[in-house]
A and B are shown apart, each in its own frame.
Chain A
Amino acid sequence: MLPAALVMIFVAVAPMVTVLNYSFHDIFTLDDVFWVGTEWYETIVSSPRFWSSLGRSAAFSSLVLMIQLPLGIGIALMLRRARPRAANLMLMCLAIPLVVPTNMVAGLWLALLRPEGLGGQALTLFNLTLDYKFTAAHTWGLILVVDTWHWLGLVVILAYAGLSSISPAYYQAAAIDSASRLAVFRWIELPQISGALWIVLLLRLVDSFMIYTEVMTINAGGPRDATTFLSLQLGEEIKGFSYGSAAARAMVNFLFVLTLVWVFVKLRQSKDSAGSKVT
Chain B
Amino acid sequence: MSRSGLLRTLALATLAAFILLPFLQAVELSFTVTLGVDGVPAGTFGLHNYANILATPTLRDSFINSVTYVLLNVIFCLAAGLPAAYGLARYTFVGDRHFLFFLLAFRVTPPVVLSLPIFILFARTGLVNTPVGIALVHCVFNLPIAIWILESFITAIPRSFDEMAFIDGHSRSGFFMRFLIPALAPGIAVTAFFCFIFSWVEVVLARTLTVTGGKPITQAISSLFSFQTDWGLVMAMTIFSLVPGVMMIFFVRNHIARGFVVRT
Contact = CB atoms under 8 A, between A and B. Distances in A.
Contact of A200 (B15, B20, B235, B260): B260
Contact of B203 (A86, A102, A149, A231): A102
16 contacts: A3-B83, A7-B76, A12-B114, A16-B114, A19-B114, A90-B15, A99-B200, A99-B248, A101-B217, A107-B221, A154-B260, A206-B110, A250-B116, A257-B109, A261-B101, A268-B264
A10 B136 contact: yes
A119 B29 CA distance: 13
Given A4-B80, A7-B76, A18 B18 contact: no
Interface string B99-132: 1011111101110111111101100000000000
A148 to B, nearest CB: 9
A211 B19 CA distance: 20
A265 B101 CA distance: 8
Contacts, number: 230
Interface stretch (A41-49, A60-68, A75-83, A125-133): A75-83
B156 interface: no
A96 B249 contact: yes
B112 A111 contact: no
A153 to B, nearest CB: 8
Interface string A83-122: 0001010111111111111111001110110100111000
Interface string A157-179: 11011000000000000000000
Chain B's interface: helix, strand, loop or mixed, by majority?
A: helix
A101 B203 contact: yes
Interface string B13-44: 00110111111111011000000000000000
A254 interface: yes
Interface of A: 1-8, 10-12, 14-16, 18-19, 22, 30, 75, 78-79, 81-82, 86, 88, 90-104, 107-109, 111-112, 114, 117-119, 149, 152-154, 157-158, 160-161, 196, 198-200, 202-203, 206-207, 210, 212-213, 231, 234-235, 238, 243, 246-247, 250, 253-254, 257-258, 260-262, 265, 268-269
B241 A104 contact: yes
Contacts of A81: 8
Interface stretch (B48-56, B139-147, B158-166, B177-185): B139-147
B87 interface: yes
B117 A99 contact: no
A231 to B, nearest CB: 6
B118 A96 contact: no
Given A18-B120, A96-B245, A212-B204, 15 more contacts: A3-B84, A15-B117, A16-B114, A19-B114, A78-B11, A99-B246, A102-B201, A111-B234, A111-B235, A118-B25, A158-B257, A210-B112, A238-B116, A261-B101, A261-B105
A118 B83 CA distance: 51
B147 A254 contact: no
B87 A1 contact: yes
A19 B116 contact: yes
Interface in B213-257: 217-218, 221-222, 225, 231, 234-235, 238, 241-242, 245-246, 248-250, 253, 256-257
B221 to A, nearest CB: 6
Contacts of A207: 108
Contacts of B197: 98-99
A160 B21 CA distance: 23
Q: Which among A4, A99, A200 has the highest number of chain B CB atoms within 10 Å?
A: A4
B211 interface: no
B81 interface: yes
